[in-house]
A and B are shown apart, each in its own frame.
Chain A
Amino acid sequence: MQMGDSVFMFFSALLVWIMTPAIALFYGGMVRSKNMLSTAMYSVGSLAVISVLWIVAGYSLAFSTGGNAFIGNLDWVGLKGVGFTPNGDYSATIPHNMFMMFQLTFAVLTVAIISGAFAERMKFSAFILFAILWSLFVYAPVAHWVWGVGGWLRELGAIDFAGGNVVHISSGVAGLILALVVGKRKNADAAAPHNLPLTLLGGMLIWFGWFGFNVGSALTINSVAMTAFINTNTAAATGIIGWLVVEWIINKKPTLLGAVSGAIAGLVAITPACGFVTPFASILIGFIGGAVCFWGIFSLKKKIGYDDALDAFGLHGIGGTWGGIATGLFATTSVNDAGANGLFYGDPSLLWKQLVAIVATYLFVGIATFIIVKVVGLIVSLRATQEEETLGLDITLHGERAYHESNM
């Protein structure tokens, strides 16, 4: 065990932890005031449920070393054998249970991200049930594929530094399926953000937390970690620029919501690549990430006609897909000798592996999520009633209001 790395990882885990409450604010500000609290509750609910589930079984299913190519086994259920002694398979320099906690914050965050897709209409009870099943049967396997010892994508040689597949594509695709199955909101066109300053605060806290997410994924402070740090900030910045340039041209006005969204798009896009590419590449990855996500939300969403309320798929699915492809283009072993060379550095096979990983994640997450949603729908009703939706989920499902504005 090495103290410097351990302190660094403790701090990184704290940073990633804050991203989930930050999502509560980010998403909460984007919904109508009558749904502020119910939207935030999806994030708080994720913190509660997934935190426990991860200890009980999630971590073992994702990371235990005795499983097969698709899923871990139950050796580490209840953290049996996961103690202070480092596990060399993941990091020889930090306590094993520290690694477990770092990964826990990812598992919580991923479920919270999905909630943007069905905000303002899904029942809290259905969400909790969905979160439990999805985390065990979708998140844990995908994490195992990519990062777990013996995971098939890891063995294949696909690379994902901080969770482009595991966190972003999987949450985005799950969100898309949920948006399609749960259906559109009544009056979705009339919905507008009720508090963009909250969204700004949440969005910037997400960016702040993302440093732990990406830099911490190096598991030590070395040159790869510093490159990830620089790349993360750079891509977020160019994500803003990419989004705003397109928005300014098409809609004639650069918006703050667009700027914050562009930052998230850039962050999503750089996530799988951040420890494998040069800072110059991160400029392009972030810029294109911002522009592509704008296109997805401006154009693709209208064409297909799903109501991804807060663009979980639009940002995380589309941004994550671009990030995975970009990793296959821009990765270079000059940045990280544990990585690989991408297409622009002479090896087209990495791009192929990245595409396999992306397609496999889309297919598995899409089908498994669909099945889970249908199962949940048999047990409880997925969607709030029309009356509940009209009055707002805060007062009807949770019995509270975000704001008491009247002085009477």
Chain B
Amino acid sequence: MSDVLTKIEIITRPSKFEELKQELAKIGVSGITVTDALGCGLQKGITELYRSVKKQDNMHARIKVEIVVCEVPVSDVVDKARKVLNTGQPGDGKIFIYELKNAIKIRTGEEGSQALRNNS
């Protein structure tokens, strides 16, 4: 059993969230954290017009999904995410992968891979 903890951060379109959540559950990802985010990338901005006053907004509404895995292979998560989130248009988002030093479950004090499990 691998004890390497990996954090996968996915920034993507809010409209894809439900689908992504369901697909991740299917491959055994048990815990995720989701944050509303704003960001810009290659996608063009949106122009708002209020009584002809232009407001250029190149910040797009996105979500940031954070997942920490140990037993679930990182490649599975990445493959699933790419499959679900890829529309072929700019603005699909990015996936970032980090290696983690440790994880601690606040309730029990369990560390490392144990912190990701439900042992009680």
A residues bordering B, Cβ < 8 Å?
30, 189-193, 247, 250-251, 253, 255, 257-258, 261, 294, 297-298, 311, 314
Partner of B49, one of A30, A190, A255, A261: A255
A298→B54 CA distance, assembly (Å): 11
A297 touches B51 (CB 8 A): yes
A193 touches B50 (CB 8 A): yes
User: Does B53 make an interface contact (CB < 8 A)?
Assistant: yes
What mask results when residues 53 to 77 of chain B are scored 1 for a CB within 8 Å of chain A, else 0?
A: 1110000000000000000000000
A257 touches B55 (CB 8 A): no
B52 cross-chain contacts in A, Cβ below 8 A: 247, 250-251, 294, 297-298
Instruction: Please give the distance in Å from B73's CB to the nearest CB on chain A.
Output: 36
B53 touches A189 (CB 8 A): yes
A257 touches B51 (CB 8 A): yes
Number of cross-chain contacts by CB at 8 Å: 29
User: Does B48 make an interface contact (CB < 8 A)?
Assistant: yes
A189 touches B55 (CB 8 A): yes
B50 cross-chain contacts in A, Cβ below 8 A: 30, 192-193, 255, 257
A356→B54 CA distance, assembly (Å): 37
Which residue of A is nearest B55, CB measured? Answer: A192
A193 cross-chain contacts in B, Cβ below 8 A: 50
Instruction: Please give the distance in Å from A258's CB to the nearest CB on chain B.
Output: 7
A258 touches B53 (CB 8 A): no
A258→B48 CA distance, assembly (Å): 13
Interface size class of B (residues with CB under 8 A): under 10
5 A-B pairs with C-beta separation under 8 A: A192-B48, A251-B49, A255-B49, A255-B50, A258-B51
Partner of A253, one of B49, B51, B53, B55: B49
A257→B53 CA distance, assembly (Å): 12
A190→B48 CA distance, assembly (Å): 11
A192→B57 CA distance, assembly (Å): 11
What mask results when residues 23 to 52 of chain B are scored 1 for a CB within 8 Å of chain A, else 0?
A: 000000000000000000000000011111
A247 cross-chain contacts in B, Cβ below 8 A: 52
A311 touches B51 (CB 8 A): yes
A81→B54 CA distance, assembly (Å): 55
A30 cross-chain contacts in B, Cβ below 8 A: 50
Which residue of A is nearest B49, CB measured? Answer: A251
A191 cross-chain contacts in B, Cβ below 8 A: 53
A228→B48 CA distance, assembly (Å): 37
Question: Which of B50, B51, B53 has most chain A Cβ within 10 Å?
Answer: B51
Which residue of A is nearest B52, CB measured? Answer: A298
B48 cross-chain contacts in A, Cβ below 8 A: 192
Instruction: Please give the distance in Å from B113's CB to the nearest CB on chain A.
Output: 31
Which residue of B is nearest A247, CB measured? Answer: B52
Instruction: Please give the distance in Å from B59's CB to the nearest CB on chain A.
Output: 12
> What 5 pairs across the A-B complex have the smallest Cβ distances?
A298-B52, A192-B55, A297-B51, A251-B49, A192-B50
Which residue of A is nearest B53, CB measured? Answer: A189
B54 cross-chain contacts in A, Cβ below 8 A: 189
Which residue of B is nearest A315, CB measured? Answer: B51
A190→B55 CA distance, assembly (Å): 6
Which residue of B is nearest A192, CB measured? Answer: B55
Instruction: Please give the distance in Å from A316's CB to the nearest CB on chain B.
Output: 14
A193→B51 CA distance, assembly (Å): 10
7 other A-B residue contacts (CB within 8 Å) besides A189-B55, A251-B52, A257-B50: A30-B50, A191-B53, A192-B53, A193-B50, A255-B50, A298-B52, A311-B51
A190 cross-chain contacts in B, Cβ below 8 A: 55
A191→B49 CA distance, assembly (Å): 11
A314 cross-chain contacts in B, Cβ below 8 A: 51
Instruction: Please give the distance in Å from A364's CB to the nearest CB on chain B.
Output: 28
A188→B50 CA distance, assembly (Å): 12
A251 cross-chain contacts in B, Cβ below 8 A: 49, 52
A297→B51 CA distance, assembly (Å): 7
A257→B52 CA distance, assembly (Å): 10
A314→B53 CA distance, assembly (Å): 13
Instruction: Please give the distance in Å from A107's CB to the nearest CB on chain B.
Output: 27
Instruction: Please give the distance in Å from B34's CB to the nearest CB on chain A.
Output: 15
Which residue of A is nearest B48, CB measured? Answer: A192
A247→B53 CA distance, assembly (Å): 12
